[in-house]
Amino acid sequence: MTNARILHFDIEATSLEASFGHALCMGYRYNDRKRTDVPTIYDYPAKKGEEPDAGLMRHLHDLITNKADILVSWYGKEYDRKFLNARMLMAGLAPMPPLSGEHVDLYFTYRANLKLHSGRLQGVSEALGCPISKTPVRADVWRNAQRGDRKAVRYVVDHCDRDVNILHWLYGRLRPFVRQHPPVSADPGACRVCGGVAWRSNGMRYRMGAIQRRLQCGGCGAWTYRNAKGEQRVP
């Protein structure tokens, strides 16, 4: 059983650099829910004299700080998270919790385990048969959205919504490969990846003079090792 609140997220911004642009929206979805939420800067207006995305940053700061235990992203450690850190500091907010060990970046999971024609979210999801398709990033639409054009904002929101749902789908496929996945359950006998307790024993290894049994989760397919005391070890 999963106890952790797993939050998939993706941001859309006006620039790749937080010093020259601001966030337009952030899509997020909890792992146990079917709905994706995509709040925008127009849903959380900034106060007079503030950065355009200050209101949205306050909302996202509360969300990540108080309502998420594990984050899931695609290249989010290098872009989304750093962009949010910068914009939140500009909005006068305190730092979010580090969550370094609790942030699963599927881009690096892909890099370490798969060899496909493309390492982009679209390329990997298409190669693995994801039924959800991305929409193209159009510069004119992003500029219009920045000016508040409603049609453009809807397009950006839909684009972000699709990205998060693709991310959620990929997490279901790639999570067994996450070598140091943070535990999702407080049960020491449960799978660290999905919280399941059905195991299949398949071989063993010798490590530091001790025997460790190799186990595969019957729920998600992740592998682990257990020593004589029953403690899990990362493969």
pLDDT in tens, 184-207: 998 988 999 999 999 999 888 787
Give the tokens for residue 143.
Answer: 């500029």
Backbone phi and psi for residue 10, each to the nearest 5 degrees, phi listed first: -160, 140
The reported pLDDT for the residue numbered 51 is: 96
The reported pLDDT for the residue numbered 230 is: 58
Whether 132 and 159 have beta carbons less than 8 Å apart is answered as: no
Whether 56 and 41 have beta carbons less than 8 Å apart is answered as: yes
What's the CA dihedral at 25, 75, 8, 93 to 10 degrees?
A: -50
The reported pLDDT for the residue numbered 225 is: 86
Architecture of domain 6-177: 2-Layer Sandwich (3.30)
What are the extents of the domains in the chain? 6-177, 183-235
The reported pLDDT for the residue numbered 39 is: 98
Which pLDDT tens digits describe the chain residue by residue (235 residues)?
A: 568 999 999 999 999 999 999 999 999 999 999 999 999 999 999 999 999 999 999 999 999 999 999 999 999 999 999 999 999 999 999 999 877 679 999 999 999 999 999 999 999 999 999 999 999 999 999 999 999 999 999 999 999 999 999 999 999 999 999 988 999 998 988 999 999 999 999 888 787 777 888 899 999 999 998 875 556 666 6
| pTM, entire model | 0.92
The reported pLDDT for the residue numbered 203 is: 87
The reported pLDDT for the residue numbered 235 is: 63
Nearest C-alpha neighbor of 32 from the set 75, 81, 72: 72
d(CA 60, CA 75): 18
